[in-house]
Structures are given as structure tokens and as C-alpha cells.
């Protein structure tokens, strides 16, 4: 197997893991994963020690794209506008027909083992978003930036989960809620 074949096999596994775990959950089986990727189990185990490692690598690989979708353009506005941008992006994404919620929140909910490799990646992704909120809150003069960041995470995760389960439409709901939180926090 050449380096190109290995990279191709690896990419196919990661893409299949991303698609299947987002659509069906992280409890996908090795057989289904390998079948969707078009690779043998032997090939998978030559590249990864376990399916858990494939899931973790898949979450890690798509993190930059996920972050980019939620990040305002550089030097785009005030801290308040930057926070609202995240929720506007969430509302827009949640209207897409294949939206299933935040893949990192889903992994945290489904994986009960806090030491699971995919759980560690997901927890880091959520902490990164909370840090972004806290920094924007500090820059915007919020009275308690850490508390506001926690509130914003609660809204983000709750909205993601409800929209992903198709029990709630976010059209304006999160931005209105976040606007009230920002006002109350003095930001």
C-alpha cells in the first residue's frame, strides 16, 4: 500500500465516520463504518487502533470547518456583534434539511466515558467555544464574563439539540434570547 493509498483510505474512513456518526450517532459499528468507507477492517486497523480512535480523529478533522462556520469575518464588528454572529450562523445551519445538531454535543451526550478519545475531542471543542464567548464578553465589558459565557453555551447547546431533534425552529429565537442575555450582562 502506498502513502497515497493510506491517505486515501484514512480520509475515506474519517469522512465515513463523520457522515455516519452525525446521521446515526457514534454507536455505529465497525462493519458499517468500513462498508461506508469502502475499506476492509484490516485496513482500518492498520491505520487506527480502534473505532474510537477513528471517531476522535473524525471529530478533530472537521473542527476547523465547524469553527469557521461559527466565526465572524476577521475584524468584523463589536464583541456583541461577534457573539450574535455565532447564533445567527446556528440559526442558519439549523434550517438546513440535514441538520442534526452540534456533532460535538452529540458525542458528549452519547459517549458516557469521559476518557473516550472522541469525548475528549468533543469536550475540547465545546471549551473552545466557551472561551470564545468569554473573551468576547470580557472585550464587551460584561459584568461577569465567565457566567455569561456559560449562559451562552447553555443557549447554544440547548438550541442545537432542540433544532437537531426537529422539535424547535430557531428562526430568530436564539438571537432574541442572546440579545436579552447580552443586555442583562451589560454588554
Mean pLDDT of 33-60: 94
CB 48 within 8 A of CB 135: no
Mean pLDDT of 103-116: 92
The reported pLDDT for the residue numbered 68 is 86
Mean pLDDT of 30-56: 94
Q: Which of 106, 121, 113, 130 is nearest to 61 (CA)?
A: 121
- Sequence-distant (≥ 6) Cβ neighbours of residue 156 within 8 angstroms: 86, 87, 90, 102, 129, 174
| 88-101 confidence digits (pLDDT tens) | 999 999 999 999 99
Domain count, the chain: 1
Q: How confident is the model at residue 125 (pLDDT cuts 50, 70, 90)?
A: very high
151 φ, ψ to 5°?
Answer: -65, -45
The reported pLDDT for the residue numbered 5 is 56
Q: What is the extent of the structural domain holding 9?
A: 3-184
Given a cut of 60, whether residue 4 has pLDDT beyond it is no
Given a cut of 80, whether residue 87 has pLDDT beyond it is yes
CATH number of the domain residue 120 falls in: 1.10.357.10
Least reliable range by pLDDT among 64-73, 75-84, 140-149, 171-180: 64-73
Whole-Å CA distances, 11 to 29, 61, 108, 168:
18, 10, 23, 34
In order, the DSSP letters of 15-28 are HHHHHHHHHH-TT-
Q: pTM for the complete prediction?
A: 0.88
Amino acid at each position: 500500500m502506498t502513502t497515497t493509498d493510506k491517505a486515501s483510505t484514512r480520509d475515506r474512513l474519517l469522512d465515513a465516520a463523520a457522515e455516519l456518526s452525525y446521521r446515526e450517532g457514534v454507536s455505529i459499528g465497525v462493519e458499517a463504518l468500513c462498508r461506508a468507507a469502502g475499506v476492509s477492517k484490516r485496513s482500518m486497523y492498520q491505520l487506527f487502533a480502534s473505532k474510537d480512535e477513528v471517531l476522535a480523529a473524525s471529530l478533530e478533522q472537521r473542527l476547523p470547518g465547524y469553527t469557521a462556520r461559527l466565526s465572524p469575518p476577521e475584524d468584523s464588528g463589536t464583541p456583541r456583534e461577534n457573539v450574535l454572529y455565532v447564533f445567527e450562523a446556528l440559526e442558519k445551519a439549523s434550517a438546513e434539511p440535514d441538520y442534526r445538531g452540534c456533532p460535538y454535543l452529540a458525542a458528549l451526550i452519547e459517549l458516557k466515558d469521559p476518557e473516550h478519545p472522541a469525548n475528549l475531542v468533543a469536550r475540547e471543542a465545546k471549551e473552545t467555544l466557551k472561551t470564545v464567548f468569554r473573551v468576547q464578553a470580557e472585550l464587551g465589558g460584561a459584568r461577569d464574563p465567565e457566567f455569561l459565557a456559560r449562559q451562552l453555551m447553555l443557549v447554544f447547546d440547548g438550541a442545537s439539540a432542540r433544532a437537531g431533534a426537529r422539535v424547535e425552529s430557531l428562526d430568530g429565537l436564539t438571537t432574541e434570547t442572546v440579545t436579552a442575555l447580552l443586555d442583562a450582562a451589560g454588554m
